[in-house]
Structures are given as C-alpha cells and as structure tokens.
Amino acid sequence: MIDWLREDLPTALLGAAVTLAWLAVIFVPLEWARPRWSSQPRLRRGLATDLAFFAGQHLVFGALVAWILTRIYGLAPLAALADLQGAFARLPMALQVITALILGDLAMYWAHRAQHSFACLWRFHAVHHSSEALDFVAAHREHPVDGLYTQFFMNLPAVLLGFSYEAVLGLVAFRGLWATAIHANVRLPLGPLAHLIGSPQFHHLHHLRRRDVGNYANLAPWIDHLFGTHRHGEDDADPSRTLDLGLDSPAPRTYLGLLALPFRRWSDLEGEQVG
C-alpha cells in the first residue's frame, strides 16, 4: 500500500487530471455554444460530488476494471472458443470493431433494462439517476458496483470474440468517451441518423423523472426501436426549460452519502424502481 501511494498514486493523479483537462477542452466549448438546457448553471449544484466520482473512477475503479480483465483472460473456458475467435479474426479489422461494439451495446441494453427492472440492481443504478443536472461531468456519477456490472456486460462480447487485452482497453476508453458525450449538456440534432447513433437528446430522455423509461442503448438507438423501448421528445424543445431529473425520494448530495445509498433500507429505494 505504501509503495502504491509513493510510486503509482502520483501517476494516477496526473492521468486523471490530464483526462479531465482533455474532456473539458472537448465538451466545455460545446456546452457553452450549444447548450441543450441554457438555464442550467455552469457551476451547478452537485458538480463537486460528480468530480469526486470522476476521481474515484480514475484512481480506483479504472485500475480495478483492468485487473478484472486480466483475470478474465486467464480463464480456461475461453480456449473452447478458439474456432469462433479464429473465424472472427479473419474479418476486416473495421468490421471486427463494429461487431464488437454492436454486440456490446446489445448486451448492455438488456443489462441496463435489468437495472431498471430488478430492485437489487436498481438500488446501485439509482446513484447514477440521482443527478439533478446533466453535463459531461455528471456522466461519471456511478456507483462502483454498478460500474463493474456495466463494464462486464459491455465488454464481454469483445473478450469472447478474442479481442486482445489492449484492444478491449481501447474499447473501454472509447465507450467512456461516448458515455461522457451522451450525458453532455449539448444540443446536437442528428436528423435521420438519430435512429442509428446515440446522442445527448436520446439519452437525456432516459434520465427524465416521471417519464416512461426507455432509451436503454448507448451507441445504437435502433436497438430500442427493435424491442419497443424507444422514447422521443421534441428536438426543438425550449432550451430555457429546467430539467426534471433525479429521484422521487431525496438522495444524499455527498460522494460518501451516495456510495452508501444502495445500502439504505430496502423500502427507501424500492419505490424508485422505474422499469
């Protein structure tokens, strides 16, 4: 532990700071130039909490995901898929990546629906939905247990298809950037492509309170169309409107309080289940 604090922590802190700086360079100008909700304060309530979640993800959670992936690659059952992996490896690289992303989103679609359908999963996922404002930082409000669950299903197809450890880490980074983008306070109409490619408008509707929940996919909205869970709103909605986000019951506003939220009395969160 002492060695990690002395040798690895400074590197991890620098990496987290550089990542946050790059995300700010990308998304802050977009959120200022084309806000989905112009009435949302830039220094909003809950920003410090979401920054704490960001730090926790990059200092602890990211390393844990990488460690778990190395353990998965050591599992013997993967050898039984050698024929499938060999056939998949003969496909063009671009097709391999697209296939892995689509299958990952399909797996995550059903895993995400389960999070909204089963109370034992919802109590962890509720932390993510407790945010009362959406921007590129709010994307990182995620309980570590919920995050591990998400990463498992999202990356399982790529692992089974024989992607290398380094390639899967690349997919993790890409999906992290995409998740940040679809939570950003950005108005980005895609026209007909909105049915094929996930956008902030598409995912914002998933976070609205007192609304028929849907839009479970991240990358591919057509998956929601396929299974009848696609929801849409007015793309020309008044940008001065306030968001109706969060949980029906009051949620803690601190980082530690939200980490403890899933362990509150069962009845406190069961009514929040929205599937």
* pLDDT of amino acid 238: 54
* pLDDT of amino acid 156: 87
Asked whether the predicted pLDDT for residue 244 surpasses 90, the reply is no
Higher pLDDT, 127 or 240: 127
Mean of the per-residue pLDDT values of the chain? 84
CB atoms near residue 35 (< 10 Å): 18
pLDDT in tens, 46-79: 999 999 999 988 877 777 777 777 776 666 566 6
The proportion of the chain whose per-residue pLDDT surpasses 70, expressed as a percent, equals 84
Considering only 20-34, 209-223, 236-250, which range has the smallest mean pLDDT? 236-250
Among 178, 177, 172, 128, CA closest to 152: 172
Ordered by start, the domain boundaries in the chain are 2-270
pLDDT band at 265 (very low <50, low <70, confident <90, very high): low
pLDDT band at 216 (very low <50, low <70, confident <90, very high): very high
* pLDDT of amino acid 106: 96
* pLDDT of amino acid 75: 64
* pLDDT of amino acid 1: 43
Rank 5-9, 196-200, 209-213 by mean pLDDT and report only the highest: 196-200
Mean pLDDT of 167-190: 90
* pLDDT of amino acid 9: 65
Asked whether the predicted pLDDT for residue 94 surpasses 50, the reply is yes
- Asked if residues 36 and 185 have their Cβ atoms less than 8 Å apart, the reply is yes
* pLDDT of amino acid 235: 47
How is 194-228 classified by DSSP, letter by letter? Answer: GGTS--HHHHHHHHBSSS------SS-THHHHHHT
- Asked if residues 224 and 230 have their Cβ atoms less than 8 Å apart, the reply is yes
pLDDT in tens, 112-145: 999 999 989 999 999 999 999 999 999 999 999 9
β-strand partners of 208: 245
